Amino acid sequence: MKNICSFLFVLILLVSCKSPASLTKTPPVVEIAETAENFSVEAQKWRNGIVFFATGNEPFWSIDIDRDHEIRFTNMEGDKLIFNKMDVKWLTDASYAFTASDESVIFSFTSTEEECSDSMSDKISSYSVTIQVQLKGESNKTTFTGCGSFVPDYRLDGKWKVAQLGNNKALETDFYGKIPVFKFEMNAMRFGGSSGCNMISGNLNMRPGKLRFGQMISTLMACPMGKEDELKQALNATLLYSLEENKLILKDENQKITIVFVKED
């Protein structure tokens, strides 16, 4: 209770000082009918330009970090602290932490890559998050803890055909008569497809500009000479991705192309 009161005091003081870190009331929640297009929280976040979000309970809070401009923190009362993302270092040198401040408040954010489960659901997130809010000139800090995730890039959702493996064009003769096609399911963060011989599937892990294929499994059919092993190695080596028109370009940590996919209709 003491922590909650301290944070509310910070918010009250911010309103009276008209701090540059905007403090606004969250608009009323609009009920949206659940459809195939909007049932996923992550899909809605992505459509709204969010790249990372986190929530916590006891008391409830949430934070959204969008692609271009803002960091928005909301407390249980529906009040917001809004900071310009350009004013803080976010994801520089693989850092998942930042500090933002104005004339009245210091806002600190730290996240750690580890499995995290909140107290209100069974959902497992990829990051634990700690936020501290401190009034300048005061030693007391209000601490909020919770779980967070990067929002998948839903442009990858769907089927993709291998067009290039390394620097070489993918040929049917390299893959037992059929070019490999993989399906990316961004809601489930999984992929699966065929090498032309064996089925391959696994998990996806991503953050802005980065993509990893993990926990890959495959069937164990004996196959004639081909590039199935080279394809698996390329998937394992992938760390970076970019999209150019209908092409998904994957690269390793040295910026060397591992695979180029083209979108399937």
The answer to whether residues 83 and 64 belong to one domain is: yes
Q: Is the domain of 27 the same as that of 130? A: yes
Identify the domain boundary among 116, 134, 150: 150
- 95 and 172 co-located in one domain: no
Q: Which of 150, 179, 199 is the last residue of a domain?
A: 150
pLDDT given for residue 46 in this prediction: 94
| Number of domains present in the structure of the chain | 2
Return the closest-CA partner of residue 117 out of 108, 109, 128: 128
Domain boundary among 124, 150, 176: 150
In this prediction, residues 1-10 reach a mean pLDDT of 42
The tens digit of pLDDT for each residue in 16-41 reads 333 334 433 333 333 333 444 546 88
Same domain, 145 and 72: yes
Q: What is the pLDDT of residues 140-192, one digit of tens each?
A: 999 999 999 999 999 999 999 999 999 999 999 999 899 999 999 999 999 99
Whether residues 224 and 95 fall in one domain: no
9 and 103 assigned to the same domain: yes
What does the pLDDT look like over 95-137, one tens digit per residue?
688 999 888 889 999 999 899 987 776 788 989 999 999 988 8
Q: Which of the pair, 208 or 166, is modelled with greater confidence?
A: 166
Confidence grade of residue 92 (pLDDT, cut at 50, 70, 90)? low
Which range, of 76-90, 126-140, 189-203, 204-218, averages the lowest pLDDT?
A: 76-90
Q: Report the candidate in 68, 240, 122, 13 with the shortest Cα–Cα distance to residue 5.
A: 13
- Do 105 and 161 lie in a common domain? no
Mean per-residue pLDDT for 41-67?
92
In a shared domain, residues 11 and 123:
yes
CATH of the domain at 204: 2.40.128.270
Q: 44: domain range?
A: 2-150
pTM score, two decimals?
Answer: 0.78
Cβ of 187: how many Cβ atoms within 10 Å? 13
Residue 154 token pair: 């839903």
Dihedral sign (CA 230, 248, 175, 223): positive
Do 83 and 68 meet the contact criterion of CB atoms below 8 Å apart? Answer: no
Q: Read off the pLDDT of each residue in 192-208 and give the average, rounded to a whole number.
A: 92
Residues 9 and 111 in one domain: yes
The verdict on 165 and 133 lying in the same domain is no
29 and 121, same domain (yes or no): yes
Same domain assignment for residues 223 and 115: no
